[in-house]
Amino acid sequence: MLRSMTGYGRGEGRAGGHRITVEIKSLNHRFLDLNIRLPRFYLALEEKMREKVKSRINRGRIEVIVNIDQENGKKQPLTVDMDLAIAYYNALKELAQRLNLPADMGAKDLLGLPEVVKTSEPEWTEEGLWPGIEAALEEALIQLLTMRAREGARLEEELRERAEKVRSLIKAIEERAHQVPGEYAEKLRQRIRELAGDLVLDPSRLEMEVALFAERADIREEVVRLHSHLDQFLRALDQGGAVGKQLDFLLQEMGREAHTISAKANDLMISNWVISLRGEMEKMREQVQNVE
């Protein structure tokens, strides 16, 4: 089954007198871009969280937001660096005097300056807190992956429908390609008759011209490769999992073959079908950009 790269999950856990909430958001990205936002006192847990997420997700821009609060409602005690606050005040007062500015500095203003107010580090251990973090993260991951799988199933259904349209267009191009040389030969004969009148024509020269045209317009190899790429595309859908890059590559290759067919075919009907073919493949590429 395919998985989309967009989704959301939320989980909760408790451990060591703390209540933990974890939110995970994911968006499209060519690779795995993982950003974990932890309160600064708990940054030592980031690496374990990173490894757990990487073991479950292969691609996408992933944002993990962690909130940790004490269950008893206590807040971490605040301390004021009085020496730093006084130094700020004196510096600002001197600056105001020198520049003839008002020195209306209040306590609230001082408290907002860097490092004046500090929070004491909470007491915790990795062994005591990790079970709660892991439980919350696991719950959030399950929700996220469920959403990604649900969206992936919708993407797969649409891709298969478009793949069938592509197959039909390739077959139509293939059948038409067999008719083009014969039609070209008849048009050439008629044109020569109109221009030559009663002159006797050399049949071998005419057949040679038709053969040269058929060689230049021969798209059999491109059609075979298109069928092959489409078969590989469908097998990748059957395989499921993290196949987004493979699907995107195959669509690029199919686009190249379609471009070559358009340049070689020299037939209006084939050109119109190629336009439709490329339109379907472009829509498929837009969908594949969201596949893990």
Q: pLDDT tens across 255-284, in order?
A: 999 999 988 877 889 989 999 999 999 999
Give the model's confidence band at 208: pLDDT under 50 very low, under 70 low, under 90 confident, else very high.
confident
Return the minimum-mean-pLDDT range out of 64-78, 136-150, 170-184, 189-203: 189-203
pLDDT given for residue 194 in this prediction:
66
Average the pLDDT over 38-64 and give the result.
Answer: 91
pLDDT given for residue 251 in this prediction:
96
Q: Does 52 or 105 have the greater pLDDT score? A: 52
Fold for the domain defined by 7-75+127-149: Ribosomal Protein S5; domain 2 (3.30.230)
Give the model's confidence band at 43: pLDDT under 50 very low, under 70 low, under 90 confident, else very high.
confident
pLDDT digit string (tens) for 55-71? 999 999 999 999 988 77
Give the model's confidence band at 144: pLDDT under 50 very low, under 70 low, under 90 confident, else very high.
very high
pLDDT given for residue 76 in this prediction:
57
Give the model's confidence band at 153: pLDDT under 50 very low, under 70 low, under 90 confident, else very high.
very high
pLDDT given for residue 68 in this prediction:
87
Average pLDDT, the chain: 85
pLDDT given for residue 70 in this prediction:
77
Average the pLDDT over 228-233 and give the result.
Answer: 96
pLDDT given for residue 206 in this prediction:
64
Average the pLDDT over 151-177 and give the result.
Answer: 94
pLDDT digit string (tens) for 231-256? 999 999 999 888 999 999 999 999 99
For CATH 3.30.230, list the domain ranges present in the chain.
Answer: 7-75+127-149
pLDDT given for residue 13 in this prediction:
92
pLDDT at 107 over 70: yes
Task: Let me know: does 243 contact 291? Beta carbons within 8 Å.
Answer: yes
pLDDT given for residue 77 in this prediction:
60
- Record the pTM: 0.71
CA angle in degrees (0–180, nearest 5) for 32-33-35:
135
Q: Give me the amino acid identity at 153.
A: A
pLDDT at 199 over 60: no
pLDDT given for residue 116 in this prediction:
67
pLDDT at 158 over 70: yes
pLDDT given for residue 288 in this prediction:
94
Question: Which DSSP string corresponds to the chain?
Answer: -B-BS-EEEEEEEEETTEEEEEEEEEE--SSEEEEEE--GGGGGGHHHHHHHHHTT--SEEEEEEEEEEETT-PPPPEEE-HHHHHHHHHHHHHHHHHHT------HHHHHTSTTTEEEPPPP--HHHHHHHHHHHHHHHHHHHHHHHHHHHHHHHHHHHHHHHHHHHHHHHHHHHHHHHHHHHHHHHHHHHHHHHTTPPP-HHHHHHHHHHHHHHT--HHHHHHHHHHHHHHHHHHHH-BS-HHHHHHHHHHHHHHHHHHHHHH--HHHHHHHHHHHHHHHHHHHHHTTB-
Average the pLDDT over 194-212 and give the result.
Answer: 65
